[in-house]
Amino acid sequence: MKLKSSECLDMDLKKVWKLLHERRAVSEVVSSVILTGAVIAVSFVVLFWAQYRSSAYNEQYSEAMNADIARLKERLAFEYVFYGGGNLSVYLMNCGTIDNVTVQTVYVKDAAGAPIQVSSSITLMQFNRTQIADKDLDRGEEGYFVLSSVSLVAGKSYSVRVVTGRGSTFDHTFIA
Amino acid sequence: MANSKGFSSVIGTTFMVLVMMFLCTSVFMWTLSQNTIYNEAMKEKNQIEVDRLNEKVTASNVNYTVMGNVVSVEVVLENEGPVSVEIVSLWVIDATMNKHNFSSPLNINLKPGNITYLQGSKAINVTIVGSASLHQFSSWFVTARGNVVPSEREGGIIVAQVSAGIGSVAMDFTSFKYYNVSKVGSSYVLNNYPNGGSGYTVIQPSGKDVGIAFELCLTNFDPLKKEINLSSASVFWTLFPVLPTQPRGTMWYIVNVGDNGTIAGTFTTVTIPYGATTKVFFASAQDVNTGGFVPSLSSYTGTAPVNLALVGKIGDSAYGQNVPFVSIYIKK
């Protein structure tokens, strides 16, 4: 029995010796592990980068879509356009379904479409002639602005185009 | 392990395919949801536009009255469309002076089919400094959906304008009736009510506590479209040419009559809105509000011209009008 146990010990030592000195198979495993790890790491980097790019695209698309939707919801009604004493008063009402409609630019054109005046500094007033504090028209709110020093011929047809801060345009034809 | 060459490539490829599928699916689904939101907004916008186009409100029978600097606009608004409409403002232009003003907010809501009479005390007042009755006016309403409703003047001829020399009321000569009055218990009633008899030939009753009553239909065609209120002093009076130099008269004062033909012992003002036709009864020998109801009989017979002396208020102003009406023949 003693002999058998010493033989076994020898065999075990040989195996360990082989394992320590014959390393060809070990290097293949290690290389495979390293390669697989590298691939997974690179894949995750690619995943995160792609997700970041797609998020940026989503955000950009979302902003464009929301702007379009907001523009869709805008609507301004022209209650009255009055010309007198060189001043053009335009009375508006926000009859859309969105608040905070600002007036960015106003174009006054003649019947042929030739521009007569363009104004980008618009002060919105309430109908009681006080300035609108938040400088915009909320839903159902009425307001007006006055363009001064406008030269129009009485009895002739003109059009006024109002461009809002969101980019919507509203046109109205009137007789001076 | 000996056959593990290319294993990492397989893992990498699988991973990349999964990543691409995940990314493409998520971006596609997200884009789809955004498009759905946009489509919803577009549908909502279209519905609003359809509602706006479906608004059909008419503003007719407009009349402008100027008192001081206040232009009073009387108009009849009718919603002929299928959607409810909110009227938010009224704009009035004095074309003679090239001045304008508005009344806002009005908060007038019209359900489909609704008619609103903005007349009398309900007229809309707009201040335009310097305005006068003879000026030319135009006006329009603005709805909450942004539509503009122009006010239209009447196309037809107003009867009262044709008969401007007569006044504000028109009389219906075909429905003129008379009744015999008798006492039932403590009340006086119109016999054979509501049929009565033609008012042109009156058979006078005899006996105690009897009298004659007349029923006529008056229509308010006031050019200013104001409401007329008749007071108890209004009287239906006749002149009998007994002698060429001595005409005699009999009077029947205005009374209130109930649905069952009973004459009221007191009098409440009879109101005739503009354009409305109202039955008016004359039966008392004296002003009901000063002496109570007393049945009236004619002391004379034969032919007599009839006049209507109407007293009361038109709008907020005092009103009085004497109209030659018909001729009647009274016999016993």
3-state secondary structure B106-143: CCEEECCCCEEEECHHHCEEEECCCCCCCCCEEEEEEE
Mutate to test the interface with B, among A36, A59, A68 (most CBs of B within 10 A): A36
Task: Say if residue A20's pLDDT is above 70.
Answer: no
How is domain B57-150 classified at the architecture level of CATH?
Sandwich (2.60)
**Residue A159, CA distances (Å) to A89, A90, A110, A164, B187 in order:** 13, 11, 6, 16, 73
d(CA B141, CA B237): 47
- SS3 category, A91: strand
- Are the beta carbons of A102 and A165 closer than 8 angstroms? yes
pLDDT at B140: 94
Instruction: Quote the pLDDT of residue B88.
Output: 92
- DSSP code of residue B151: B
Instruction: Give A113 to chain B, closest Cα distance, Å.
Output: 24
Whether the Cβ atoms of residue B79 and residue B85 lie closer than 8 Å to each other: yes
State the amino acid at position B203 in one-letter form.
I
Confidence (pLDDT) at B3 = 58
Q: Closest partner residue to A72 among B15, B45, B89, by Cβ?
A: B45
pLDDT above 70 for A2: no
At B154 the pLDDT is 58
Instruction: Report ipTM (2 d.p.).
Output: 0.72
User: Whole-angstrom Cα distance, residue B57 to residue B29?
Assistant: 45
Q: What single-letter DSSP state applies at residue B266?
A: S
What's this model's pTM, rounded to 2 decimal places?
Answer: 0.59
Residue numbers of chain B with a pLDDT score lower than 70:
1-8, 154-166
Identical topology for domains B57-150 and B159-331: no
Size of interface A-B (CB pairs under 8 A): 95
* pLDDT for res A169: 93
User: Using 50, 70 and 90 to split pLDDT, how confident is the model at A22?
Assistant: low
pLDDT of residue A23: 58
Residue numbers in B near A25 (CB within 8 A): 1-2
DSSP string, B24-64: HHHHHHHHHHHHHHHHHHHHHHHHHHHHHHH--EEEEEEEE
From chain B residues 137-196, the ones with a CB under 8 A of any chain A CB are 142, 144-148
Residue A137's pLDDT band, with cuts at 50, 70 and 90, is very high
The DSSP result for A115-148, as a single string, is EEEEE-----B-TTSPBPTTSSB-TT-EEEEEE-
Q: How far is A11 from chain B (nearest CA, A)?
A: 24
Q: Report which secondary-structure segment, H or E, holds A55.
A: helix A24-73
Q: Is the pLDDT of residue A16 over 80?
A: no
pLDDT of residue B121: 81
pLDDT number for residue B270? 94
Say which of A57, A72, A95 has its CB closest to residue B42: A72
- How far is the C-alpha of B86 from the C-alpha of B78, rounded, in Å? 12
Q: How confident is the model at residue A143 (pLDDT cuts 50, 70, 90)?
A: very high
**Residue A35 in 3-state DSSP?**
helix
Q: Does B11 touch chain A (CB under 8 A)?
A: yes
The phi, psi pair for B199, rounded to 5°, reads -75, -10
Mean pLDDT of all residues in chain A? 86
**Do the chains contact at B9 and A39, CB–CB below 8 Å?**
yes
Q: Among B11, B27, B142, whose Cβ lies nearest the Cβ of A39?
A: B11
Nearest to B119 by CA among B225, B20, B216, B191: B225
Among A50, A20, A79, CA closest to B101:
A79
pLDDT value of position B126 = 92
Interface test with B, best of A33, A44, A52, A75 (most B CBs within 10 A): A75
Domain residue spans of chain B: 57-150, 159-331
DSSP 8-state assignment for residue B207: S
pLDDT tens digits, one per residue of B37-75 = 989 988 988 998 899 899 999 998 888 888 888 888 989
The reported pLDDT for the residue numbered A26 is 64
Q: Do A93 and B88 touch (CB under 8 A)?
A: yes
Residue B203, strand partner residues: B331
The values of phi and psi at residue B268, to 5°, are -115, 145
Between 2.40.390, 1.10.238, 2.40.160, 2.70.50, what CATH number should domain B159-331 receive? 2.70.50
